[in-house]
Amino acid sequence: MNNKYKILVIEDESNIRSFVKTILDTNGYQVLTAGSLSQGILVYSSHYPDLVLLDLGLPDEDGLSFIRKIRQTDSTPILVLSARTQERDKVLALDTGANDYITKPFGTAELLARVRAALRNRHFENAQGSDAAGRYTVHDLEIDYERRLVRVKDQEVRLTQTEYNIVALLARHAGRVLTYASIIQAVWGSSDAGSIKKLQVNMANIRKKLGSRPGEKNYIINELGVGYRMQDEA
Ligand code: CA
């Protein structure tokens, strides 16, 4: 019986494609590959993979059109493979409906962690990381959703309502990057010229209150130019 997760890799660079395929193969995933967007759509619609790894720069069409096409009907997680310098492309891909991105060049551990997080999110979008009592814990951080409380090392952290809303939102999507625009939309409902600044100020206060220090492991990572990500693995 074949109960492996099926992952479709759409990437035109054959060395990256075979690197990714080898890693996923050896870690128990079933891998399908495509070297162009049209081939990717063909494979997608005949195999219905559980997850798609998508390069944006494809020879026939932009990867974004794949995301648009799939999102008309499916919520299958899509991870974008993108070069470091393409912040705008990452934001655009996320706001178009990609679940996350991986920056090239990436290592084995990072690829596997992103894949696991995306597959988990697929099943537990609203309950990810939280237990029956409505709590979320990662490392020393605990969020009690029912009482709207955050604790670090069992000490209560005093957050404003807005700060709490931001932390709770990131924790609900732990392991996955949320764009600045999507956080602003979720927390304030609308955006204006000062929104990014407001978010940055709140985030600086949150990090201070959570006890983040430069060089140490942080609960919340700033993905520069893109958004914020809460860590979900030790
Ligand atoms: Ca490419």
- Mean pLDDT along residues 108-126: 80
How far does residue 116's CA lie from ligand 1's centre (Å)?
Answer: 23
Q: How far is the CA of 230 from the centre of ligand 1 (A)?
A: 28
For tokens 């979900």, the residue is 232
Dist CA 164 CA 178 (whole Å): 16
pLDDT at residue number 16: 95
Asked whether residue 25 carries a pLDDT value surpassing 90, the answer given is yes
pLDDT per residue as tens digits for the range 67-84: 999 999 888 999 999 887
- C-beta contacts of 146-152 below 8 A and 24+ residues apart: 150/210, 152/210, 152/211
H-only helix segments in the chain: 14-26, 37-47, 63-71, 87-96, 108-124, 161-172, 180-188, 195-209
Ligand 1 centroid – CA 12 distance (Å): 5
Q: How far apart are CA 72 and CA 56, in angstroms?
A: 18
- Kindly give the distance from the C-alpha atom of residue 19 to the centroid of ligand 1, in angstroms, as a whole number: 14
CA of 65 to the centre of ligand 1 (A): 14
Q: Give the percent of the chain with pLDDT over 70.
A: 90
Higher pLDDT, 126 or 190: 190
Task: Tell me the whole-structure pTM to 2 decimals.
Answer: 0.74
Query: Which pLDDT value is given to residue 173?
Result: 84
For ligand 1, the distance from its centroid to the CA atom of residue 14, given in whole angstroms, is: 9
pLDDT at 135: 82
pLDDT computed for residue 161 by the predictor: 92
Residue 81 CA to ligand 1 center (angstroms) comes to 9
Contact 180, 201 (CB under 8 A): no
Q: How far is the CA of 62 from the centre of ligand 1 (A)?
A: 9
